Every structure is written in C-alpha cells, then in structure tokens.
Amino acid sequence: MYNFVIVEDEHIESKSLRRMISEHIENATIHEASTGRKAIQLIDQLNHIDMILVDINIPLPNGREVIEYLRRKNDQTKVIVTTANDDFDIVRSMLSLKVDDYLLKPVKQSIMTDVIKKVLHYDEQDNQVTRELKQKVFSLIDDGDYPAWHELVFQTIDGAYWDKSGDRRQTVVDFLALLDQYVTAQGDKFAASHSAALKGVMRDVASRGLTEGFYYRILRGVFTLSEALFERVFKSAAPQGDFIERARYHIEKNIFTNITLNSCS
C-alpha cells in the first residue's frame, strides 16, 4: 500500500498527477492539497506518507516551508518537487531537505511514472501479490463466503504474529488497507460509519506493532466490520438462502459468542 500526498494549486496539474499515480501504482491512496496550509493539515492527520509531490510555488505557505515542516516530523517520506522555474538556487536549497527528485513542469507522464517507481523502489512482483490478495478479499465478501473469509483473516493475522523472521506489522496494515478500500467502495454513508474505526486499528498497528495484547483488538475490529459487510450481502440475497446457509451465516457471525442449536433456527 502506498500513501501519496499531492500538493498542487493548479487543478489540471493535480488531476493529471492523480491519474498518473492511479494508473501506474497499484493500491495507491491519494490525498490532495491546494495550499501549503492544507498540506500541513494532511501531514498532521496522516499516520504514514510514502511520497509527497510538492509544487514549490504553492501559496500559504510555500512548498519549501511545507517540506521543512514535513522533515521536522518525518525524514522517511519520499519528496518530489515540481516547479515551472528552472532556478539553480532553488535546486541547491532543496538538498538539505532530503528531496529525492526535482522536476520541471510540464512533466511528461513517462518521466513522472519512472521517477515515482524509482524513488519508491516499486516492485512489480510484490504488487502482483497485492493485486491477487485484493481480488480475493473483494471476491470473498461479494460472494458472501463467510467461512472462507474468516479463514483468510486468521491466516493473515496469525501468520503475521507467528512469523519470527521479522517485523510483519506492514502485512497486517496492508490487509486492513485492502479491507478499507472495499468499505470505501460501498459509498460515503457506509464508509463514514465503519472506516474510521478500521483506520484507527491500522494506525495503532503501524505505530505500536503486533504486540500480544493487541491481537484480540485487531481480530475484534475486523470481525465487527465483517459482520456489517456480510449482513449487507446476506440481506441482498434472494431468497434468504436455505436453512443450512442461514445456520452457517449465524455461526460465522457469532464467532466470538456462545451460541445454541435453537439460535440457529
């Protein structure tokens, strides 16, 4: 998953950058700011930013001040500066701010795409795996396959916890981000009800890691959201399925609850 911030006051330029990123970077979440002030608000709000693309001449405050603010909070975010001014003094002043590249407008799509991939060390093979996982996540929910969904959730989260080869928090964050993409696709009303809690879990995992005491909260958050998602699918099925299907749904829905045979009827 990649979090991008585009800081650009020209609507056409911003729209063009968004399209470039969407078309060529798999699973990119894109945020936009038309002023320096809005960019700083995003820097404060977002837990993690992979790349920020900054027009150095944006207003209130300017691009350099935005980058300076970013660097006081995070020195890992990749920064690409764009400008219409071919000024060596501007380029030189960017060096101390760990700017990764400096591009003159208008920037060709092929150049921008190549620069973004190079700076991010974008791995096409890794992103093929992400594409396949995204398809699986979306398909299991759309098909209402509750048992297989719970199997995938346990497989992903338990696998990350039990893997001792390194820090696997990003695996869990990426999985939750795919789930958030599905939630967002359901529409603003549904996303507003459920996305905030999911993003809170993602932030905690990213900052605190996969601690033992955090395991149950992650599962509980995913399963609470799953219940709402599968409820929508189940209600849209016509007719409401046979007895066995309804019983299976009830069992999966109450995975953390003591249930009886009578409650499944």
Bridge partners of residue 30, in order along the sequence: 4
179-204 pLDDT, tens digit per residue, is: 988 888 888 788 887 888 888 888 88
CA distance 84 to 67: 18
The residue ranges of DSSP E strands in 89-159, in sequence order, are: 101-104
CA distance 213 to 211: 6
Contact criterion met (CB below 8 Å) for 59 and 9: yes
pTM for this entry: 0.61
61-101 pLDDT, tens digit per residue, is: 999 999 999 999 888 899 999 888 776 677 677 778 889 99
Asked, as a colleague might, if the bond just before 147 is cis with ω within 30 of 0, I would say: no
C-alpha 121: how far from chain center: 18
User: What is the pLDDT, as a whole number, of residue 239?
Assistant: 52
CA distance 265 to 245: 11
CA distance 201 to 207: 10
Give Cα separations from 190 to 17, 46, 65, 85, 205 (angstroms). 28, 21, 37, 44, 23
CA distance 80 to 103: 7
DSSP symbol at 262: G
Does the domain at 2-120 match CATH 1.10.3980.10? Answer given as no
CA-CA-CA-CA dihedral for 180, 183, 184, 190, to nearest 10: -140
Domain boundaries, the chain: 2-120, 124-264
Give Cα separations from 120 to 98, 100, 115 (angstroms). 14, 10, 8
139: which 2 tokens? Answer: 């398909």
Q: Compute how many other C-beta atoms are within 10 angstroms of the C-beta atom of residue 81.
A: 23
Give Cα separations from 72 to 63, 65, 69, 76, 175 (angstroms). 14, 11, 5, 11, 29
pLDDT in tens, the chain (265 residues): 788 999 999 999 999 999 999 888 877 889 999 999 999 999 998 878 999 999 988 888 999 999 999 999 888 899 999 888 776 677 677 778 889 998 888 888 889 999 999 999 887 666 777 788 889 999 999 988 888 999 999 999 999 998 877 778 888 988 998 898 888 888 878 888 788 888 888 888 888 889 888 898 899 889 889 888 888 887 776 555 565 666 566 566 666 666 555 554 5
